[in-house]
Amino acid sequence: MILPAAPGDDLRLDVTALDYLILAIYFATVLGIGFAARLTIRSSVDFFLSGRSLPAWITGLAFLSANLGATEILGMAANGAQYGLMTTHYYWIGAVPAMVFLGIVMMPFYYRSGVHSVPEFLRRRFNSETQLLNAVTFAIAQILIAGINLYALALVMRALVGWPLPVSVVVAAVFVLAYITLGGLSSAIYNEVLQFFVIVAGLVPLVVLALIKVGGPGGLAERIRASPLGEPGLHTWADTGSENNPMQATWLGILLGLGFVLSFGYWTTNFAEVQRGLSAKNNTAARLTPIVAAFPKIVIPVLTVVPGMVALVVFPALRQPGADYNNAIPMLMGDLLPSGVLGVALTGLLASFMAGMAANVSGFNTVFTYDIWRGHLRKGRPDAYYVTTGRWMTVVAVVGGIMTAFIAAQYSNIMAYMQQLFSFFNAPLFATFIVGLVWRRMTPWAGFWGLLLGTLAGVTSYLLYLLGPLEEAYGTELNASFWGAGIAFTVDVVVSVAVSLATRGTAKSDEELRGLVRGLPSDRPDDFHAGDEKWYRSPVKLGLGALALSLACYIPFW
C-alpha cells in the first residue's frame, strides 16, 4: 500500500523487513563485484576498457542495461501515461534502427582504429580542437544525465525511508561511487549484466499485476479510450497526419527528428554506450554488441510503457493538470506488490538507476582522463597516474551528478529534459560524424565549426521555445526536441560543407584518413570476419532480423 506522504514527499511505500533484506543482499553483491573487479586492474586499458577482453553477450547486455536507467524506467513510464502508445516510437524507430546501424556500419570504424573514446576518434579524423570541444560537451552532458539518474534513484529512496530529497541524493550516489571507483569499467559492466536480470525480475510481476487490475489488455484499452488520451492513445502512426495526437507531433517530425537525428545521434556517437562495444574481445564481438542489445530492446515497452498507461487510468492524480508523471511506476509498486515481491521490484528499479548513472560516470572519467587531462593538460605521465586520475574523476562525476540532480527535479517528465540534452549534444555530433565518414574531403576545421555552431543552434532553438516565439509552433517539449535536433543537424551539415569548401587545401591525405573514412580501410590487423560464417554470429543478418522484427511490431498498433 501507499502510506500518506510526508510534507514535501510525493509518496511513501510500505516496505517490510523482507523487502529491506532483498535490497541489502543486492547492494552487498554490487560492492562485492566492485572489489573482485579491482583485482583485475593492472593498466589504464583494464580500468577504462576492461582490457578489451569481453564476449559479445556480456557487452551486449551491458550496452542495453547502461541505457535502461532512470530515463528508461521512470521516463518512459511517464511518457506512457502522458502520450500512450506513441511512446513506442522511442524503441521501434527511435532505437533499434540506430543500434543496428551502429553495429553494422559505425562500430568497425571505432574498434579497428584502436581509439579509447569517441573524442579520440574525432582527433584522428579532424584535429585536437574538435576532440577537445567534443570532450568538454560530452563531459557536461554526462554530468547532467547522471543527475537525472541520481534524482530518480533518490525519489525511490525517499519513498522507501522518507528521507528529504538532498539526503536521498547523497546516499544514493555513494553506492555508484564505490563500485566504479573500485573496479572501473569491468565493475560497471558486470554489474550492468546483473542489473539487467534484476530489472526484468522486478518489472515483470508489476506488469502482470497491473494488467490484471485493469482487466487485461482489452480492459486497459477501454479505460484508455475513456481517459484524457482517448482513442489516439492506442495508436502509433494513425493520428500523425496532423498534430491532433497526444504528442502533438507529425509523422515528419517523428521520422526525421526522433527516428533519424535524435536516435542515430544518441546511439552511434554517445560514448557511454559505444564504450561497451570498445571493451569487446574482437571486432566481430564489438559489432554484435548493439545488435545483441537490440532484440530485448524491442520488447522493453511492455515493461515501461504499459505500466505508465495503467497508472494513468488507475490513479486520478495522474489525470490532473500539472501531474508529476515520474511517479507512475513507484505508485503502481506501492499499490500492487506484496511484501517480498515489492522488494524484488524495488531492487530492479534501483538497479536500473545505478546502471544508468554508472554508464554516465564511466564515460565521463574515461573521456576526461584520456581526451582532456592526458590529451591536453598532462601529457606523457606514467600509466598508473592516469588510472588514479580516472578514480578521482569518478568522484568529480558523482559530485557533479549530485548538483545537477536538482535541475532534473524541476521537470515533471524527465524524458522531456533528456531529449532536449540529446538535441543539444548528440544531434550535431552525429552530423559531424556522418559527413566526416562518407566525405573524405571534409577538413579538420570543418569538424570543429560544424560541431560548435550545430550545438549552439540546438540550444538556441530550445531557448526560443522556452521564451515563447516557438512555443506555439512546437507545442510540446518533446516535439521541440525533435525539431531542435533537426535544426542542429542541418546547421552542422551546412557549416561543415561550407567550411570544407573554404579550406579545401587543408584536407587530410588519404593515408592520414586510412581506417577513419568510408573506402579507406585500416591496415590494423584484427579478426574482422571472425565468426561471420555462422548466421547467428553475423552482425548483418542478425541486425536485419532485429530491424524487421522492430518494424513488424507497429502492425497491430498502427
DSSP string, 485-545: HHHHHHHHHHHHHHHHHHTGGGPPPTTTTTTTSTT--------TTTTTTSGGG-HHHHHHH
Question: Cα-flanking dihedrals φ and ψ of residue 13, to 5°?
Answer: -100, 140
The rounded distance, in Å, linking the Cα atoms of 20 and 451 is 48
Find the mean pLDDT for residues 351-355.
67
Q: Which of 127-136, 295-304, 443-452, 519-528 shows the highest mean pLDDT?
A: 443-452
Find the mean pLDDT for residues 254-267.
81
Instruction: Count other C-beta atoms under 10 Å from residue 228's C-beta.
Output: 17
pLDDT for residue 531: 45
C-beta separation of 228 from 234 below 8 A = no
Q: How far is CA 470 from CA 80, 414, 463, 475, in A?
A: 25, 21, 9, 8
Residue 1 scores a pLDDT above 60 = no
Residue 98 scores a pLDDT above 80 = yes
Residue 44: CB partners within 8 Å, gap ≥ 6?
A: 369, 383, 386, 387, 390
Find the mean pLDDT for residues 149-157.
73
* Grid cell digits, residue 557: 498498433
Indicate the range of 230-239, 300-309, 351-360, 401-410 predicted with least confidence. Answer: 351-360
For residue 120, what pLDDT band results from cuts at 50, 70 and 90?
A: confident
Please name which of 437, 444, 432, 358 lies closest in space to residue 394, comparing C-alpha atoms: 358
Which has the higher per-residue pLDDT, 418 or 4? 418
Alpha helices in 126-269 (DSSP H): 128-161, 165-213, 216-225, 251-252, 263-269
Instruction: Count other C-beta atoms under 10 Å from residue 16's C-beta.
Output: 12
C-beta separation of 338 from 196 below 8 A = no
C-beta separation of 98 from 266 below 8 A = yes
The rounded distance, in Å, linking the Cα atoms of 378 and 382 is 10
The rounded distance, in Å, linking the Cα atoms of 12 and 444 is 55
Average pLDDT over the chain, rounded to whole?
Answer: 79
The rounded distance, in Å, linking the Cα atoms of 398 and 409 is 17
Q: Mind listing the pLDDT tens digit for each residue in 387-407?
A: 788 778 878 888 888 888 888
Question: Cα-flanking dihedrals φ and ψ of residue 3, to 5°?
Answer: -80, 160
* CA dihedral for 295, 301, 304, 307, sign (positive or negative): negative
pTM above 0.85, yes or no: no
pLDDT for residue 545: 92
pLDDT for residue 34: 63
- Collapsing DSSP states into helix, strand and coil, what is residue 97? helix
For residue 248, what pLDDT band results from cuts at 50, 70 and 90?
A: confident
Find the mean pLDDT for residues 364-379.
81
Instruction: List domains and CATH numbers for the chain.
Output: 16-557 (1.20.1730.10)
pLDDT for residue 205: 85
pLDDT for residue 96: 92
For residue 42, what pLDDT band results from cuts at 50, 70 and 90?
A: low
Instruction: Count other C-beta atoms under 10 Å from residue 44's C-beta.
Output: 23
Q: Mind listing the pLDDT tens digit for each residue in 186-197?
A: 556 666 677 777
Residue 53 scores a pLDDT above 70 = no
The residues that bridge with 2 in the sheet, in sequence order, are 13
pLDDT for residue 523: 64
